[in-house]
Amino acid sequence: MSLGAISPEAHETLAIAMNRIGGKSDSGEGGEDPRRFKPYANGDWGNSKIKQVASGRFGVSAAYLMSAEEIEIKMAQGAKPGEGGQLPGSKVNGLIARLRNTQPGVTLISPPPHHDIYSIEDLAQLIHDLKQVNPAARITVKLVAESGVGTVAAGVAKAKADIILISGHDGGTGASPISSIKHAGLPWELGLAEAQQVLMLNGLRDRVTLRTDGGMRSGLDIIHAAALGAEEYNFGTITLIAMGCVYVRRCHLNNCPVGIATQDPKYRAKFKGEVDHVVNFFNAVSEEVRQHMATLGVRKLDDLIGRTEYLRQRKLPDHPKANLIDLSRILADVGKQTGKDLPRICLQDRNDGVQKEPPLDDQILADLGDKIENMEKAVLAYPVKNTNRNIGTKLAGAVAKLHGDHGLAEGTLDITLTGSAGQSFATFLCSGIRLTLIGEANDYVGKGMAGGEIRIKPVEKRSFDPAENSILGNTVMYGASGGRLFANGRGGERFCVRNSGGIAVVEGIGDHGCEYMTNGTVVVLGSTGKNFGAGMSGGEAFIYDEAGRFEKLFNDGMVEIVRLPEGGPSATKLRGLIEAHIAATGSEKGQAILNDWRASLAKFWRVKPQGGLAETAPAKAGEMAGSEKAIG
């Protein structure tokens, strides 16, 4: 359950309870207060050992990921499969806005898809990203129970996930729409049974741990889940009941009468839950599981997992409709059917696979020695090729582990790279690291970056115009919360989707730029594709519209475009960013714009959320400043 869906007090109480009993709590989507990353003076610890990476990427940074023992990629939620997520504006208070790098009171949208996952290969890359930034963490992929989920689970296992979570429909605590809770999703039993059977039949079951959730309430639920193939089990709503939830089903209205599913201080003050309440509940569940196992004659839980012979379908007398249901395919034992002794549980600690070559970051870290720990300056240079994925990712994790996202002074580690960088260049970058790439980069540059600086420029001897050619790929700075990117060339589609604090200057982009953006600044010194600014609720963008087409390309659902008055603060800010871009990359396009600044400024649009403050130029002697023209 995310910090946003339930109150900070309830969220922290659950985390402390699970850490006391050796379990794990999940941060849910939306980040976590960094003060909880370290143990408390009294011996308790409010850190959620499972950190979630969802489509909104709220709060995801190197320090957040380095505080995890397990990282969960939420592909969808069992209560509302395919719908994405939405946190009502009434729940976005100052704390939530700070942790999610957004504006208080503004509804937050998590898109239905992850914008860096459009295939199983993309998912494999994200799993690799997370294993690079935090090599010690296990990676979970959360799927929803549906017909065909077994095939998806097989792909996830091949993509090197360590844990697969099958989520059922009977959940949705905190902020899910009532229509979804009542009418969407399928029971976890259906998805779990299919995933177990497909993984066994394809020789993949020993690679991954199976987990399930979706309305689990008791020890008997664990017995059922274990027999169907699950090794681990999630409890959600019932833990809130243990803390005092009285099930009035007003979670989405922010007025929970017992102070659990709310961010309103008036109601939060009513929270009476205690850590011991949760601990006692799980002790009782564990005892119930032991009692059922004793009844079955099973000594170890591993001896129960995947053993469907311990389950049978009930027959209901005088209920012809219920008796028409055939559960034989769910209860099938594919091991016995094939006559083979197929593994039914996970038999290895990690599902890492073998890399063809060690990551470049291993060499970088070896060359840096103890300079990161001592916060010493370093200047390094390396040739790169497109098989060098995640350059800078493991480095960022090492820095964040010692100094957090912003503890190292900018420019401390200055690294120049020459060549073509592979996928996920500078992913999860943090402050103190400057990466200069002379060449070009593939997709996902700067994804999740919280600080630092990325400079990408072409080689000096070239026969092409950088402003007319691509220099980096798709989904750049997805979910960035800080840092700066300067690219002397064009970017691809979905540029700065869910940007929540990063600064980027680029010389052209494709479709869907700045979708769901909540903070930060983007400068595009060239053309854009269609659907610019869809769902954008914060931050600003400056678009150089030479062809006069941008009025037809932006999405006016939540943003408006305005001209920049000469001499106003926005014009000054824009000029400063272009000057920084030229200094970082030697951009000829940027210099040409500055050489005729007055004429160039007239071609710029400022994109901002609707209703934001209009800007006026400083008044000249005896004159009032002119007003901006608003479009949309």
**What are the distances in angstroms from CA 282 to CA 13, 189, 274, 275?**
14, 22, 13, 11
pLDDT digit string (tens) for 178-202?
777 777 889 999 999 999 999 999 9
Q: Are residues 506 and 414 in the same domain?
A: yes
Half-sphere exposure of 292 (CA within 13 A, CB side): 20
DSSP per-residue string spanning 290-344: HHHHHHHT-SSGGGTTT-GGG------TT-TTGGG---TTTS--HHHHHTS----
**What three-state secondary structure class fits 526?**
coil
The secondary structure of residue 3, as a DSSP letter, is: B
Q: Which residue type, as a one-letter code, is found at position 242?
A: A
Report the distance separating Cα 434 and Cα 565, nearest Å: 33
**416 pLDDT more than 90:** yes
DSSP per-residue string spanning 456-510: EE--SS-SS-GGGSB-S-SSTTTT--EEEEEESSB--SSTTTT-EEEEEEES---
pLDDT band at residue 247 using 50, 70 and 90 as cut-offs? confident
Q: Is residue 559 within a helix (H) or strand (E), and if so which, with residue range?
A: strand 559-563
Q: Is residue 631 within a helix (H) or strand (E), and if so which, with residue range?
A: strand 630-631
Q: Which residue type, as a one-letter code, is found at position 560?
A: E
Q: Are residues 448 and 523 in the same domain?
A: yes
pLDDT band at residue 619 using 50, 70 and 90 as cut-offs? very low
Per-residue pLDDT, averaged over 482-511, amounts to: 98
Question: First-to-last CA distance in the chain?
Answer: 38
* Number of structural domains the chain divides into: 2
Per-residue pLDDT, averaged over 338-361, amounts to: 89
Return the minimum-mean-pLDDT range out of 176-190, 199-213, 254-268, 477-491.
Answer: 176-190
Q: Report the pLDDT value the prediction gives residue 252, as an integer from 0 to 100.
A: 81
Higher pLDDT, 323 or 371: 371
Which residues face 416 on adjacent strands? 381, 436
**Is 137 domain-assigned?**
yes
Domain holding 402, by residue range, is: 369-612
- 163-167 and 630-631: which strand pairing? unpaired
The secondary structure of residue 612, as a DSSP letter, is: P
CB 574 within 8 A of CB 565: no
- 108-110 and 50-53: which strand pairing? unpaired
**Is 356 domain-assigned?**
no
Instruction: Give residues with Cβ within 8 angstroms of 251, minimum separation 6.
Output: 5, 173, 174, 175, 176, 261
- Report the mean per-residue pLDDT for the chain: 93
Q: Report the pLDDT value the prediction gives residue 79, as an integer from 0 to 100.
A: 80
386-409 core/surface letters (b: 16 or more CB in 10 A; e: else): eebbbbbbbbbbbbbbebbbbebe
Contacts of residues 353-358 at CB distance under 8 Å and 24 or more positions apart, as own/partner, are 353/160, 356/387, 357/387
CB 375 within 8 A of CB 412: yes
Q: Are residues 439 and 392 in the same domain?
A: yes
Nearest to 135 by CA among 213, 39, 65, 227: 65
**What are the distances in angstroms from CA 125 to CA 118, 540, 555, 557?**
11, 30, 30, 32
Q: Are residues 445 and 320 in the same domain?
A: no
pLDDT band at residue 614 using 50, 70 and 90 as cut-offs? low
pLDDT band at residue 373 using 50, 70 and 90 as cut-offs? very high
The secondary structure of residue 614, as a DSSP letter, is: P
Instruction: Give residues with Cβ within 8 angstroms of 143, minimum separation 6.
Output: 75, 76, 149, 152, 153, 156, 164, 165, 166, 167, 191, 195
Q: Are residues 323 and 389 in the same domain?
A: no
pLDDT band at residue 251 using 50, 70 and 90 as cut-offs? confident
Q: Is residue 454 within a helix (H) or strand (E), and if so which, with residue range?
A: strand 450-457
**Is 621 domain-assigned?**
no
Give the neighbor-by-neighbor strand order of the sheet with 630-631: 378-384, 413-421, 433-441, 450-457, 482-487, 500-506, 519-524, 540-544, 604-609, 559-563, 630-631
Instruction: Give residues with Cβ within 8 angstroms of 225, minimum separation 6.
Output: 188, 189, 192, 212, 216, 233
Q: Are residues 387 and 329 in the same domain?
A: no
**Is 493 domain-assigned?**
yes
Q: Are residues 279 and 408 in the same domain?
A: no
Q: Which pair of structure tokens corresponds to residue 277?
A: 């309440």
CB 587 within 8 A of CB 507: yes
Q: Which pair of structure tokens corresponds to residue 9?
A: 């007090």
**Is 363 domain-assigned?**
no
Instruction: Give residues with Cβ within 8 angstroms of 474, minimum separation 6.
Output: 443, 444, 491, 492, 493, 494, 510
pLDDT band at residue 613 using 50, 70 and 90 as cut-offs? low
CATH number of the domain residue 513 falls in? 2.160.20.60
Per-residue pLDDT, averaged over 341-361, amounts to: 89
Report the distance separating Cα 584 and Cα 489, nearest Å: 13
Q: Are residues 321 and 390 in the same domain?
A: no
Q: What is the CA 554 to chain-centroid distance, rounded?
A: 25
**What three-state secondary structure class fits 268?**
helix
pLDDT digit string (tens) for 388-410?
999 999 999 999 999 999 999 99
Return the minimum-mean-pLDDT range out of 33-47, 75-89, 320-334, 568-582.
Answer: 75-89
**Is 623 domain-assigned?**
no
pLDDT band at residue 30 using 50, 70 and 90 as cut-offs? confident
**What three-state secondary structure class fits 618?**
coil
Residue keyed to tokens 């209860």: 331
Report the distance separating Cα 122 and Cα 181, nearest Å: 29
Q: What percent of the chain has pLDDT over 70?
A: 95
pLDDT digit string (tens) for 105-142?
988 888 889 999 999 999 999 999 999 999 999 999 99
Higher pLDDT, 88 or 405: 405
Which residues face 604 on adjacent strands? 544
- 232-233 and 604-609: which strand pairing? unpaired
Q: Are residues 331 and 393 in the same domain?
A: no
pLDDT digit string (tens) for 417-458?
999 999 999 999 999 999 999 999 999 999 999 999 999 999
Q: Are residues 524 and 377 in the same domain?
A: yes
- Percentages of the chain per state (helix, strand, coil), in multiples of 5: 30, 20, 50
pLDDT band at residue 627 using 50, 70 and 90 as cut-offs? very low
CATH number of the domain residue 189 falls in? 3.20.20.70
Q: Is residue 414 within a helix (H) or strand (E), and if so which, with residue range?
A: strand 413-421
pLDDT band at residue 305 using 50, 70 and 90 as cut-offs? very high
Q: Report the pLDDT value the prediction gives residue 83, as an integer from 0 to 100.
A: 83
Q: Report the pLDDT value the prediction gives residue 176, as an integer from 0 to 100.
A: 67
Instruction: Give residues with Cβ within 8 angstroms of 339, minimum separation 6.
Output: none
**Is 629 domain-assigned?**
no
Instruction: Give residues with Cβ within 8 angstroms of 54, minimum separation 6.
Output: 29, 73, 74, 85, 110, 114
Q: Are residues 282 and 423 in the same domain?
A: no
Final residue of a domain: which of 338, 360, 379?
A: 338
Per-residue pLDDT, averaged over 306-333, amounts to: 92
Q: Are residues 414 and 316 in the same domain?
A: no
Which residues face 434 on adjacent strands? 414, 453
Per-residue pLDDT, averaged over 577-605, amounts to: 98
**Is 1 domain-assigned?**
no
